[in-house]
Amino acid sequence: MEEKQFAGILNGAVPGEPVKKDENSRRGNWGNQIEFVLTSVGYAVGLGNVWRFPYLCYRNGGGAFMLPYFIMLVFCGIPLFFLELSFGQFASLGCLGVWKISPMFKGVGYGMMVVSTYIGIYYNVVICIAFYYFFQSMTNLLPWTYCNNPWNTPDCSGVVGTGHQLNGSLANATTSLVAGVTEVVNRTKRTSPSEEYWKHYVLNISDDIGNFGEVRLPILGCLAISWFVVFLCLIRGVKSSGKVVYFTATFPYVVLTILFIRGITLDGAINGIKYYLTPQWQKVLDAKVWGDAASQIFYSLGCAWGGLITMASYNKFHNNCFRDSIIISITNCATSVYAGFVIFSILGFMAHHLNVPVSEVADHGPGLAFVAYPEALTLLPISPLWSLLFFFMLILLGLGTQFCLLETLVTAIVDEIGTDWIIRNKTIVTLSVAIAGFLLGVPLTTRAGIYWLLLMDNYAASFSLVIISCIMCICIMYIYGHRNYFKDVEMMLGFPPPLFFKVCWRFISPVIISFILIFTVIQYKPITYNDYVYPGWSLAIGFAMALSSVVCIPVYALYKISRSPGATFRERLKNACRSHPKWGPALQEHRTGRYAPMASEDTVEARPLKEKEELKEEQKEEEKEKERKDEISLTIQGSNGSTNTHNNPNPSA
């Protein structure tokens, strides 16, 4: 008996639990905790870390922006991240199933699904464009180097000169560069070869969002490749994606480091980094800076998308998700800061070459990824190599997020239907969702596709995420009850949430979320793309997309209230808010304490139930074990390799 117990501890189980490979054999678990951490890092660290954070940082006071950024991380980012991880892990259910906690709020889960659908559609289009640039970089000369191509206009002015030969003399190169710089200074309408390549060749952009034109077949082909890669990596759910992330979540850091080392050795790189980091402390008093910091933390960590709940649902019940949430959140933010060095060292070099301020070459979003940075790469020796590395990094960063978006939708569907057939044939569901995502992404590969992509990016996942997250906090803390949830977390982790997190969940984080919402509304400006102003009807579609996820919440709440038993509206409302009998740990072996009476009736895993006598004996054994633990200080290893000291479980609380 002692030998079995000791083996269980080594395997990451608590004493008395059966030791098995998959704790939840019906749904499956991560192969190990490294897979979960890497997947979550890949989910949180996405394209925004590279193309949005550095721009926000230099625009909002450089190094001074780090202060509000890390304050928002501590008071909003990490607490919300921990809340979602613990929520999904406790119930071992996806973003729909977890709302057994309070069935009236299941509309929040549907809202998360809608948001993940929108993001999944356009996010893979961005990945497919990165694929296209990656393939186009497999050449001796990058096609956006010079202005002598059929798609270029008279306004085109390159930074490398206009020569046709790569091996010109140094004198000629210097003359061309000086002429190029003079032309840049004198022209008021300079366009770069990379910008014209992007607009006139890759996108062949139309003049209006309503003018779709033809489908860009090369982009469509790359979109098919993107979805095929995502499907292959998720063909066996977390079992296959958990292995893929060993590469997709780690290799971007290798590429970032290579680009960083190359970048800081270039002339002018220090100027770019200074521009990125030089603090402008007066901006700390600007409310807009704090709003940008809060928004960036919120959106960067992927809160309210449903992905965090889904990924955590495949953890073992006693996994230390508190530790995981801190590691993943800090890794995400550190990556953003690190990426800023990589981006601005190259942009500083480009500004030095052109003899212009860094602000004139700095950009964000697709403009940085597909115009500014590729143009800077043309100035480097062996430029195709650096271009291949850069776009390969973008592909991997995008895929890490896309895996979780697709798995969120698939898990929600499978958990909701819940039959043995659909669980056995989860691959078919994954394939169906991938095909649907590909078909819905086809309009974004037309000549007007970039307009629609930016419309979805600005509206589909903006204020709706903030509302969803705020309602989730209110439901768990005030409808279900903070005391109940704190007990659930303690039952799962072996220690209660630290006092700081209790205060943040109940008061600070909801206030910050509300601040983000108010800030978003006050700072709202109609979307534009370069000089193009979106027409009113397209903005109406944007707001409709944003509201489509939020409207799920009141619609489902009214539906649930109408279907709940009760003679009066108040009784129906009370019954609709009450937790479902199946709420709680998924496996019977974990349904102890206040969940114990339901254990013999409601269990997710299909296995023979124990007899009442055996259950009573087991409960007596657990009571004796608990008494023994109280008498002596016992440190056991958690399911992910951490240690929980039951003698003093939470010194910080």
Question: Which residues sit in the known binding site for Na(+)?
Answer: 42, 44-45, 49, 300, 332, 397
Distances (CA, A) of 652 to 110, 329, 495, 502: 36, 19, 11, 12
Rounded to whole angstroms, the Cα distance separating 140 from 157 reads 21
Quote the tokens at residue 539: 């903005």
Alpha helices in 217-356 (DSSP H): 217-233, 238-248, 251-264, 269-277, 287-300, 307-312, 321-354
Residue 643: phi, psi to the nearest 5?
Answer: -115, 140
> Is the C-alpha dihedral spanning 99, 104, 110, 115 positive or negative?
negative
Quote the tokens at residue 315: 């953890």
User: Is 532 in contact with 75 (CB distance < 8 Å)?
Assistant: no
- For the chain, the straight-line distance linking the first and the last C-alpha, in angstroms and rounded, comes to 35
- CB neighbours (10 Å) of residue 499? 11
Distances (CA, A) of 310 to 203, 314, 410, 549: 35, 7, 10, 18
Rounded to whole angstroms, the Cα distance separating 41 from 329 reads 8
Q: Which neighbouring-strand residues pair with 643?
A: 637
Element (H, E) at 472: helix 463-474
Q: C-alpha angle 164/168/173, rounded to 5°?
A: 95
User: Is 575 in contact with 564 (CB distance < 8 Å)?
Assistant: yes
60 CB-near residues (< 8 Å, 6+ apart): 283, 286, 288, 289, 292, 293
User: Is 46 in contact with 328 (CB distance < 8 Å)?
Assistant: no
Rounded to whole angstroms, the Cα distance separating 424 from 515 reads 45
User: Is 151 in contact with 246 (CB distance < 8 Å)?
Assistant: no
The pairing of beta strand 643-645 with beta strand 635-637: antiparallel
Residues 409, 410, 416, 419, Cα dihedral to 10°? 170
Tell me the CB-side half-sphere exposure of residue 602, using CA atoms within 13 A: 15
User: Is 105 in contact with 469 (CB distance < 8 Å)?
Assistant: no
Rounded to whole angstroms, the Cα distance separating 227 from 249 reads 18
Rounded to whole angstroms, the Cα distance separating 50 from 48 reads 5
Residues in the annotated binding site: 42, 44-45, 49, 300, 332, 397
